[in-house]
Structure 1
């Protein structure tokens, strides 16, 4: 199975729709077999669900995420673990061990604002759930 993580400099990137990279982990029997960083090639928001489907990801770990992207991921059959922050590798290990702290309510609902970097860096939070 493949698990994707929104990724920047070893950390979980906090705005799904603006992530430029995913780290994709191949896992089997609770162990990480391999991992690699893939570039989204400028795909944004809804297109990222198709991108994840294309790389074979069955689960996504991310920070904040909007409702449209949630729906697109659900339609693509990608299991969502949102509201996670910190080290990407540690988050995947925690998921595999059944101890990942995540929020099914994590939201980025401020679309239309100018985004620079991670959620929370632009003067407001993602529904209070960006993990920041």
Structure 2
């Protein structure tokens, strides 16, 4: 399984499309086998649909973020990628919770009405 965690300064980022990077975590047999931070190609030049396409090309199975607009959720889910939003905390803690099966999402944290989370 391959996770992509929206990341900002070691924490789960609130804004999926505008986070500086993604922590890509490969998991096999319930253990982390690799973990890399990659730059978000949409961080400086955000284009709707570009980040979901980028993550599809990275063979991601699940995306974890604090917040994500409905179009991005639909785009990812239509590609078979699971989406977990409403997550906060340190990336390392979130990985441990995911591995133990205790990670719980909630409502998107990107519900502030400024429009830039709709991509």
TM, length-normalised to structure 2: 0.86
- Paired with 2:49 and 2:29, the residues of 1 have a C-alpha distance of 31
Q: Residue 81 in 1 paired to residue 84 in 2?
A: yes
Where does residue 66 of structure 2 map in the other structure?
63
Judge conservation of contact 1:67–1:107 (CA < 8 Å) in 2.
Answer: no
Give me the whole-angstrom Cα distance separating, in 1, the residues matched to 2:114 and 2:78: 21
- After superposing on structure 2, the runs of 4+ consecutive aligned residues of structure 1 that deviate more than 4 Å are none
Q: Aligned Cα RMSD in Å?
A: 1.8
Aligned pairs (5 A) from 1:30-49: 30-42=30-42, 44=46, 45-49=48-52
Which stretch shows the higher mean deviation, 42-51 or 18-27? 42-51
List aligned pairs for 1:1-132, cutoff 5 A.
1-42=1-42, 44=46, 45-103=48-106, 105-106=107-108, 108-109=110-111, 110-112=113-115
Higher relative contact order (CA 8 A, sep 6+): 2
Q: Kindly state the Cα deviation for residue 46 of structure 1 after the two structures are TM-superposed.
A: 2.1
Equivalenced residues, count: 113
SS of residue matched to 1:18: coil
TM-score scaled by length of structure 1: 0.78
